[in-house]
Chain A
Amino acid sequence: MFEVGLLHYMALSGLLFVMGLIGIVLARKNLIALLMCVELVLLSVNTLFISIGHAWGDLTGQVMVLFILAVAAAETGIGLAIFVLIYRASDQVDLEKLDLLKG
């Protein structure tokens, strides 16, 4: 029987983290996808917290996750609100075209 251990969880978390980062860096079209990637990074950290907390028999990891989820929810809410405003102002959420800070 294939035993799922801590290392597997850590690998999964690392995978999610890297996917999230790549998504952030490469997201060229859609703002929503960008936000999802940020969420992915946060979730990878959450996975890590839970797995390590479980392995060490410490509940602090899970408590931390709850905090992170709350923060992530707030962040997503603000992010979505910003996107709505951007959409209202410029009728699109295309990252390529959002370059007001261009020098």
Chain B
Amino acid sequence: MMSEIYTSLAGLVCFSPLIGALIAGFFAKRIGAFGAQFMTILCVAIAFASALVLFNYMYIEETRVFNYSLYTWIAMPGITFEVGFWLDRLSVGMMLVVTAVSLLVHIYSMGYMKGDPGIQRFFAYVSFFTFAMLMLVGGNNLLQVFFGWEGVGVASYLLIGFWFHKDSAANGAFKAFVVNRVGDFGFLLAMGLFVTYVGSLNFSDIFHRIPDLAAVSLGGMPLIDWICMLLFIGAMGKSAQMPLHIWLPESMEGPTPISALIHAATMVTAGVYLLVRLSPLFEFSPMIRSWILVIGATGGLILGMIAIVNHDIKRVVAYSTLSQLGYMMAAVGASAYGLAMFHLITHAFFKALLFLAAGAVIVAAHHEQDMRKFGGLIHSIPLVGVVFAIGSMSLMAVPLFSGFYSKDAIIAAIGATSLPGAHYAYYCLLMGVMVTSIYSVRAFYLTFLGQPRSNIHIHELSNTIKWPLIILAIPSMGLGYVLAPMAGNLHWFGEAIFYTHQSVTDLAGINGHLNHPGSMAMDAINSAPFILMLLSSFATYWIYRYSWAEKISKIFAPIQCLLENKWYFDWLVEQLLVPFVWIFSRAFNRVGDQLLIDQLMVMGPAKLLESFSLRIKAHISGHLYHYAILMLLGTAVLISKVVMI
């Protein structure tokens, strides 16, 4: 009985956005812009409500893991691929976040996309994205996760390139797609290893076989290390870790609600979610976790630094997303899976808020994104200024705001682990706090404070833009305080996350701290992250207050040059990889595609037939008596054969 309820609820959560997408996509002309908006919002609201009910079952009524296969997709000797749901506290919590943010973004988009000719297409894509993301989150096997993984990739591609007539948007979409393929390749190889060594892609089978996997060695490295490495490469692509992060800033060419939903709150956190979901594997691979820690922390610091010199309000927020993803990854590396999810959840809300607020600024300023042209906007759009400040403070980890609990806990957890590289990661992330404060205060000051630097006629904001901002501001402030005692329990995701004994001892201290959010905020006042945050924010404020920015940038000219060129990552890729790939793909195109397939296999038989019939044709006179002779001769030959037999 209960299992039927779960199945139908999970089905409602996953498939109602798909239905909305199909209706909005295929009946776009018939139902019109408003119909498409209404249907997709209704469907996502149904999904959100069902996720709430599931949340109630999982968290309040303490239901255990529910694993159900909906139907068998492919059955082969030795392996079956199924479509099913794996419901536990982790997936249901994630579903709730996805549907909540998606619902708000849908509503916000009504205002943001008003008057766009492709509005039905937009809503169809966003709903399709929600569906794919929920399939990724709820899947009970890796193949379904991969389906969702690719689905969100496609939706991201379509939405980044939504205004495809702009070259920059088309190129950004292309870049995102190609860079993600690199990561997906790792994911696919990992799935191949699972199929070979486990013979199944179902989570339940994989988790049962981990002790066996840990014993196997492949090419001098334990098999589990290979698997974890490949999975991490997959996560690096989707979650934009160094050096596969280069697509995320380009993705800002898409409409802003998309940046909030896909490139801040949900899709880019899919990689983190995947690693958390597979925590039983990663717990047995300390070496790869060490790498995750180092790569995540490095990204958390240096990618955030780029935001300091960027002038595009959306890209500043995008780089801060990269930096926060680094924090989450580092937390996964330090075995603090629960804290990674905690930061993922708080980040989903405050970063969605920041993006939507940035979008509101962009709408108000008639699609101007350059912060150098803003200034003093707090007087004209005070609501947006306030929510942007709330989002920024949450991002900067101001005590009592939600980002504070997750971020401080992550930094403390990394300080407490004993993995190689933990010290490096700890200092990177501490510096990262400073960097976060600098760019947050800078963005806020340049946009909302000071004197207007150009003549902007403020465009009136509609209610569908304002209300999602107000609603998102609430979890951005209070969610951390509410969730902190839960996150303080190592097992707040129930059985979804596995810890080794070592991790439990490492993390014990931090979690005790989180149980008292009030006193944690008080204690933070003399902790290193808080002091660094305070110093750097005030310093930044004074620098812009007294216009010292020019002078300071002259002193740090080399660093500024480095940052303005984004640490030369894009340059390196363009110089080293792109020509190489270009030559290869051109060779494959010429030899494989054009010569072998086009010329030989497709045109070959046709050409052969043509030349044959051209030769025959020369001897055809078209006279009836010639046909008659041939016919008679043929008959004679046939009859003589019959008679001979």
Question: Chain A: residues with CB nearer than 8 A to chain B?
Answer: 21, 24-28, 34, 95-96, 98-103
Contacts and interface: CB of A to CB of B under 8 A. Distances in A.
30 contacts: A21-B632, A24-B625, A24-B628, A24-B632, A25-B625, A25-B628, A25-B629, A26-B625, A27-B625, A28-B625, A34-B625, A95-B623, A95-B624, A95-B625, A96-B623, A98-B622, A98-B624, A99-B621, A99-B623, A100-B622, A101-B620, A101-B622, A102-B621, A102-B622, A103-B616, A103-B617, A103-B618, A103-B619, A103-B620, A103-B621
Size category, B interface: 10 to 19
Contacts of B622: 98-103
Contacts of B618: 103
Contacts of B624: 34, 95, 98
Contacts of B616: 103
Interface string B597-620: 000000000000000000011111
B628 A102 contact: no
Given A101-B622, A103-B622, 17 more contacts: A21-B632, A24-B625, A25-B625, A25-B628, A25-B629, A26-B625, A34-B624, A95-B624, A95-B625, A99-B622, A99-B623, A101-B620, A102-B620, A103-B616, A103-B618, A103-B619, A103-B621
Nearest to A99: B622
A101 B622 CA distance: 4
Contacts of B621: 99, 102-103
Contacts of B625: 24-28, 34, 95
Contacts of B628: 24-25
B623 A25 contact: no
Contacts of A21: 632
A20 B522 CA distance: 119
A98 B623 contact: yes
A25 B620 contact: no
Nearest to B613: A103
Q: Kindly name the residue among A98, A100, A101, A103 whose own CB sees the greatest number of chain B CB atoms within 10 A.
A: A103
Nearest to A95: B624
Nearest to B618: A103
A25 B627 CA distance: 9
A101 B624 CA distance: 9
A26 B625 CA distance: 7
B617 A25 contact: no
Q: Kindly name the residue among B621, B625, B629 whose own CB sees the greatest number of chain A CB atoms within 10 A.
A: B625
Contacts of A26: 625
Contacts of A99: 621-623
A101 B617 CA distance: 10
A103 B612 CA distance: 13
B624 to A, nearest CB: 6
A69 B611 CA distance: 45
A102 B617 CA distance: 8
A101 B629 CA distance: 16
A74 B57 CA distance: 85
A24 B633 CA distance: 13
A37 to B, nearest CB: 9
B639 to A, nearest CB: 13
A24 B627 CA distance: 10
A25 B632 contact: yes
Contacts of A27: 625
A98 B621 CA distance: 10
A24 B628 CA distance: 7
8 interchain residue pairs of minimum CB distance: A102-B622, A99-B622, A103-B617, A103-B620, A101-B622, A24-B628, A25-B629, A99-B623
Q: Kindly name the residue among B616, B617, B620, B623 whose own CB sees the greatest number of chain A CB atoms within 10 A.
A: B623
Nearest to A28: B625
B3 to A, nearest CB: 73
A90 to B, nearest CB: 14
A5 B339 CA distance: 116
Nearest to A27: B625
A96 B617 CA distance: 18
Contacts of A28: 625
A71 to B, nearest CB: 18
A66 B500 CA distance: 100
A103 B621 CA distance: 6
A22 to B, nearest CB: 10
A25 B636 CA distance: 14
A67 B14 CA distance: 73
Nearest to A97: B623
Contacts of B617: 103
A83 to B, nearest CB: 12
B11 to A, nearest CB: 64
A21 B619 CA distance: 23
A56 B470 CA distance: 110
Contacts of A95: 623-625
Contacts of A101: 620, 622
Interface in B152-196: none
Contacts of A103: 616-622
Contacts of A100: 622
A25 B626 CA distance: 7
Q: Kindly name the residue among A26, A27, A98, A99 whose own CB sees the greatest number of chain B CB atoms within 10 A.
A: A99
Contacts of B623: 95-96, 98-99
Contacts of B619: 103
B249 to A, nearest CB: 65
Nearest to B632: A21
Contacts of A102: 620-622
Contacts of A98: 622-624
A100 B621 CA distance: 9
Contacts of A24: 625, 628, 632
B242 to A, nearest CB: 68
A27 B624 CA distance: 9
A98 B624 CA distance: 8
Nearest to B620: A103
Interface string B380-410: 0000000000000000000000000000000
A20 to B, nearest CB: 11
Interface in B102-156: none
Nearest to A100: B622
B633 to A, nearest CB: 10
A25 B617 CA distance: 21
A31 B139 CA distance: 78
B493 to A, nearest CB: 79
